[in-house]
Amino acid sequence: MPVNVLIVDDSGFFRHRIEEMLQSDARLRVVGTAVNGKEAVDLVKRLKPDVVTMDVEMPQMNGIEAVRIIMREAPTNVLMLSSLTHEGARVTLQALEAGAADYLPKDIRAWMDKNSGVRSQLIDRLVALGRSRRFRPSRALERSVPGRDRQPGTTMVFRPETARTPRRSVGAPSAAVPTAATPSATAVRERQSALAPVRPAASDPVTTLASRVQFPDCKLVVIGASTGGPAALQKVLMQLPADYPYPILLVQHMPKTFTQVFAERLNQQCRIRVKEAEDGDLLSPGQALLAPGGLQMMLDPRQKDRVRILAGDERLTYKPSVDVTYASAAKLYGNKVLGVILTGMGADGCDGARLLKQAGSTMWAQNRDSCTIYGMPQAVVNEGLADAVLELDDIGPLLAQRGVR
């Protein structure tokens, strides 16, 4: 069955352009359009789409308020469309906190250019979100169970996603230029893994009970995420005390403007310090460095307590890439790394996780039912690289246990 999509935008150009793009793919079906948030809420309740594309700035009711109401009254996956500006990043992060599943930058030049790749990005994300089971009734009911730690106005209930095909291992990248497959091969492989039909995997392990997980002997924590990552990272990092004894590296797939705003927002919300990483930054206990969008974050081979921020190999699909940071940590910290892989499309992080495991380090993966998209964690799990498969709610408290002195 095709994925049913509701398009919400006050711009006639964008409504028409989005519908034109979606009509070219048989996996998607446009079931309606809305010109403001109020109309969107009404149509979501009546049409029950699988996924909604949501503009931010609209008359009568903006996209953020519409998302809040939708999540409260008719939970549905929402893909936000926002400008590549500081203000656009700020309001997009507010929408993600309100419960939106993902976002796509809204650069009119790229949307007008039929060769820009926007069409494939939009279609891939809508298919993945539409095929998800993020709001299954059995899981959605958990939001009302007393004692569950849910933030008001936020949905932290996620859903499983797809299986992937095995990937070959790659060698550790050099200090200056990470190695990778060609973009076409990587893009095809990861697109196939992200959009494969959902099917149960007999090899999927039962989620590890948090009570059975022991914190490893480590000196560095490295966390990677993509779709659904902003809300997941916020939930994890807010559990950590100000005197957390380990430095943390964060890799979230985001463009440059968004990573700067995201780091600032996390720094305001968390007790630990969070900043967008700059070349030469020192690893410090109780501080998380977020990889800047469009660049790669690695550890300096000459001073392993500092990070290098580099352009990296142009052939790499993701900038920043979890694989690159994991591989760098494995090379310089050996068995003293705790790698954590959170929700996200594709398989970024799997090759780096393999290098961490070969070095003797520990890998934790977010479990299927708490993921926004079970792509990146599933890649690690299916390769047998996860030492523990954990509910999102358990990851922060487990990390925090080592922060109590």
Bigger pLDDT: 188 vs 282: 282
Q: What is the DSSP letter of 386?
A: -
Cα 287 to Cα 144: distance, rounded to the nearest angstrom: 34
pLDDT band at 206 (very low <50, low <70, confident <90, very high): low
Looking at residue 328, what is its pLDDT?
97
- The per-residue pLDDT for range 384-398, each reduced to its tens digit, is 999 999 999 999 999
Distances (CA, A) of 358 to 228, 261, 385: 28, 35, 10
DSSP string, 80-124: EEE-SSHHHHHHHHHHHHHT--EEEE--HHHHH-TTSSHHHHHHH
Q: Which residues contact 49 (CB under 8 A, 6 or more apart)?
A: 4, 5, 6, 31, 32, 43, 76
Looking at residue 229, what is its pLDDT?
95
Question: What is the pLDDT averaged over residues 110-118?
Answer: 74
Looking at residue 178, what is its pLDDT?
38
Catalytic residues: 226, 253, 348
pLDDT band at 161 (very low <50, low <70, confident <90, very high): very low
pLDDT band at 158 (very low <50, low <70, confident <90, very high): very low
Ordered structural domains, the chain, with CATH: 3-130 (3.40.50.2300), 183-401 (3.40.50.180)
Bigger pLDDT: 230 vs 314: 230
- The per-residue pLDDT for range 167-196, each reduced to its tens digit, is 333 333 333 333 333 334 444 344 444 443
pTM: 0.81
Highest average pLDDT, of 95-104, 105-114, 212-221, 243-252, comes from 243-252
Percent of the chain whose pLDDT exceeds 70: 80
* Pairing status of strand 248-252 against strand 220-225: parallel
Q: How many residues does the chain have?
A: 405
Q: How many CA atoms lie within 13 A of 7 on its CB side?
A: 23
Cα 223 to Cα 398: distance, rounded to the nearest angstrom: 14
pLDDT band at 247 (very low <50, low <70, confident <90, very high): very high
Closest C-alpha among 188, 5, 191, 192 to residue 81: 5
Question: What is the pLDDT averaged over residues 298-313?
Answer: 93
Question: What is the pLDDT averaged over residues 272-280?
Answer: 98
Looking at residue 166, what is its pLDDT?
38
Looking at residue 202, what is its pLDDT?
39
- Chain position carrying tokens 């594309």: 53
Question: What is the pLDDT averaged over residues 250-277?
Answer: 96
Percent of the chain whose pLDDT exceeds 90: 67
Largest Cα–Cα distance in the chain? 60
Cα 246 to Cα 154: distance, rounded to the nearest angstrom: 29
Check if the beta carbon of residue 125 is closer than 8 Å to that of residue 101.
no
Looking at residue 108, what is its pLDDT?
74
Has residue 110 got a pLDDT over 90?
no
Cα 265 to Cα 281: distance, rounded to the nearest angstrom: 19
